Structure 1
Amino acid sequence: MTTDPRLNHIEQGFPPRYVAEARDALAATVAKLPPAAAAKLREFEDAALAGEGAVGAARAKRDEVVRPVTELRTTVAQSTAPHPANLERLAQLEAELEHREEVLRRFQTERIAANVAFGGIHRALEALPSNARLVAVPAPEPKKSQTLTSVRETIVSLKGDIHTLETSAPTIEEQEAALRAAIAARAEAGRPRMDRAGRLKIAPTANAQSAALAVACWLDPEAVFETMKQDGALREGGAMSAAEKAAALATLRTSLFEAELAEEVLLQRDGGIRRADADPFAILGVRVEVGAKRQAA
């Protein structure tokens, strides 16, 4: 037996327990997929495998031409007066080589796209908790005005709105409450305690400055709060409370999921290249439900 330094375990001819557990967990999640989604997942897996085979076959065909082209190029380069038949044959083979390389590049592009889609779905399913439910979502009927470009513009806009809202500042009241809570938590570390020997002690801190701050927070938390406020500890307040922000984000994420469902319908109908960051669950046409909460994954 040999030790694998990457995994720090003894190779025994079978995978470690955590690998088997992850495989079983993924199999259990896949088993929950509605029939249409399961069939689509198999299609992606088949496409990924077929892509590997197509690339291998195209590479083999390309390699069949590489050797004679290389040999003829060498012969022509070493001759001061290349034979016309060699030049003609080299031109033919170079054209054939260019064609076969183009075919290989096309299959490589298709293989990458298939692997990206299948890999993204695979990772998304692996990340789901064991209590997740996967519910089929009816494919929306595209509106007459909708095109792949217009839907993708909507997706970009919604993602921008979500990012802006997620990174927006809390309200002043929420920032003040958070600062007071932080001061109160630090005050607990600065609260003096008497040990069995009758000596006053505070909780261990990283250094003297940290200890001094903890004691100050215990002695006069309001003074610490006002000083930090004057020193600019608070940012300009946002307009929405945490509850309002959560509700707005839920609405935006629902709209985004619906837009990605529409995008997938248009791709299936009209063709096109799938985005690398497309929502795996929108691709499969399923909604994720965890417990009593529903998430438009």
Structure 2
Amino acid sequence: MNILVTGGAGYIGSVLVPKLLQAGHAVTVLDNFMFNQPTLAECCSYDAFQVERGDCRDQATMERLVAKADVIIPLAALVGAPLCKIDPVGAQTINQDAVEMLCRIASKDQRILMPVSNSGYGIGEKAKACTEESPLRPLSLYGVTKVNAETAVLQRENSATFRLATVFGMSPRMRLDLLVNDFTYRALRDRAVVIFEGHFKRNYIHIQDVARVFLHALENFEAMRGRPYNVGLDDANLSKLELCALIQRHVPGFTYLEAPIGEDPDKRDYIVSNARLASTGFVTQWSLDRGIRELLKGYVILRDSRYGNV
């Protein structure tokens, strides 16, 4: 298939795009390369790979690129409540308005596969898992824009959305601000972390399994279209304190404590059921333990010491 991926040089795209090419698809990436990341350099050896520097909000650019696509995967977004708070105009225009524009210019025969966030569930009900039928209660601008964008995508017949749990794992365009990645890095480098809202639970998913979900959906699209899917690990509905205890088993000497030093703007405190996705035949391959082992190896290579003297 001819696949257009916006934001394809980001954290998820840098893992997904090579997998799409390896599977034999032709891939065009549109990205503004705001972090000057060379993460898709290896993809340039594929004749079926094309890349363009540009903005997903530019309608003329999108109309030209969408016209050539069988499938569009809109990854371009300002991800996370803190970044959206810094740039609320960018959050609105990239996370929501650009997706709504895409839905207008795409033909009914073109497929859209879009990742969103399960942070849209907000504060869940105690001991009751959030399913795709649970009410969406987004609290931050990030959550609101992603929920509204998902609504626009699912109004089309030829679409599916993926409500991603908190993603973790190594990527060529690495993010150290994601919870598992952050805590594992602090465990290795600082040997300590201070936690707020330590009993808040959330779900997790490895970035390799996120990429595999898109490939799975391409292969099973007729059975999956028109619906949202939670994407997470059923055995990883864990609180922050439980996550730290798990990391501690991999990093002896790591200590952690809880203090009222902050709060989650999305108030993410819920457990999630991923049964709908499992019913399509998808099986995750990466546990939290495996992902933490991967991160610890990756952090031997990656050191965020740009601003230190030692």
Shorter-chain TM-score tier = under 0.3
Greater C-alpha radius of gyration: 1
The structure whose residues are more often helix, as a share, is 1
The structure whose RCO (Cα within 8 Å, separation 6+) is larger is 1
The structure whose residues are more often strand, as a share, is 2
TM-score (norm 1): 0.19
